C-alpha cells in the first residue's frame, strides 16, 4: 500500500540534431514511384499520421535509386563526431492533396528521421517544440532527431505535395 506519492514535473533541455540541405534527386522518377505505391494493396493511405496518400512503410528501403540518394547523407553523418552509426529502417512516399495534412507526431524510438521534398509547395512542416518551420522546396531535405514532434496544417493549395520520409536506426552492436 502506498502511503504518500509526490509528483515532480519539470522540463529538461535536450540536445537534438537538425540538418537541412539539398540533394541531387530524380524527382519525376520518385513522384511516379509514389503514384504507383499509393495504388498498391499494402498502401497506408489515410491510416497513419499522414492524413493523405502514403505508400507502405518499407516501399523505398530496397530501391537502389533511393539508396544512392541517401549515400551522401550517410557520408556526411559519418564525418560528425557525436553521431552514432545508423542504417535505413523504413522509407515511404507521401502525396498530400487539397485538404490533406500530417497530424502531430514523432518518430521515436527511431534514432534519426528525414524528409526529402520532391516539389515546391506552400504546405509548411512545423516543429513546434523548437519553433522552426520549413517550406517544401524541390530537392530540399530535413534530417532530424526522431523524438522531435512535427506536423503540417491542411493543404490549401490545389496542387499535390510529394515527399519521401524515412527513419534511421542505430546499427546493432555499435
CA end-to-end distance (rounded Å), the chain:
43
Q: Give the start-to-end residue ranges of the domains of the chain.
A: 23-117+127-170
Side by side, the strands of the sheet bearing 161-170 are 18-22, 140-145, 112-117, 161-170, 86-96, 53-54
pTM confidence score: 0.92
Cα dihedral sign, 138-66-107-83:
negative
Query: From first to last of its 174 residues, what are the pLDDT tens digits of the chain?
Result: 778 888 888 887 889 999 999 999 999 999 999 999 999 999 999 999 999 999 999 999 999 999 999 999 999 999 998 899 999 999 999 999 999 999 999 999 999 999 999 999 999 999 999 999 999 999 999 999 999 999 999 999 999 999 999 999 998 654
Overall fold of domain 23-117+127-170: Jelly Rolls (2.60.120)
Amino acid at each position: 500500500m502506498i502511503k504518500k506519492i509526490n509528483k515532480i514535473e519539470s522540463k529538461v533541455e535536450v540536445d537534438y540534431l537538425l540538418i537541412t540541405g539539398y540533394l541531387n534527386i530524380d524527382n519525376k522518377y520518385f513522384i511516379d514511384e509514389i503514384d504507383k505505391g499509393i495504388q498498391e494493396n499494402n498502401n497506408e493511405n489515410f491510416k497513419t499520421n499522414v492524413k493523405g496518400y502514403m505508400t507502405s512503410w518499407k516501399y523505398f528501403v530496397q530501391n537502389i535509386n533511393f539508396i544512392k540518394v541517401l549515400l551522401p547523407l550517410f557520408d556526411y553523418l559519418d564525418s560528425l563526431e557525436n553521431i552514432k552509426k545508423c542504417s535505413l529502417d523504413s522509407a515511404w512516399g507521401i502525396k498530400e492533396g487539397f485538404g490533406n495534412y500530417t497530424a502531430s507526431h514523432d518518430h521515436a524510438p527511431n534514432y534519426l528521421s528525414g524528409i526529402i521534398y520532391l516539389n515546391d509547395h506552400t504546405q509548411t512542416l512545423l516543429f513546434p517544440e523548437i519553433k522552426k518551420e520549413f517550406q517544401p522546396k524541390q530537392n530540399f531535405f530535413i534530417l532530424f532527431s526522431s523524438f522531435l514532434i512535427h506536423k503540417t496544417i491542411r493543404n490549401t493549395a490545389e496542387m499535390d505535395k510529394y515527399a519521401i520520409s524515412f527513419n534511421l536506426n542505430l546499427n546493432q552492436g555499435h
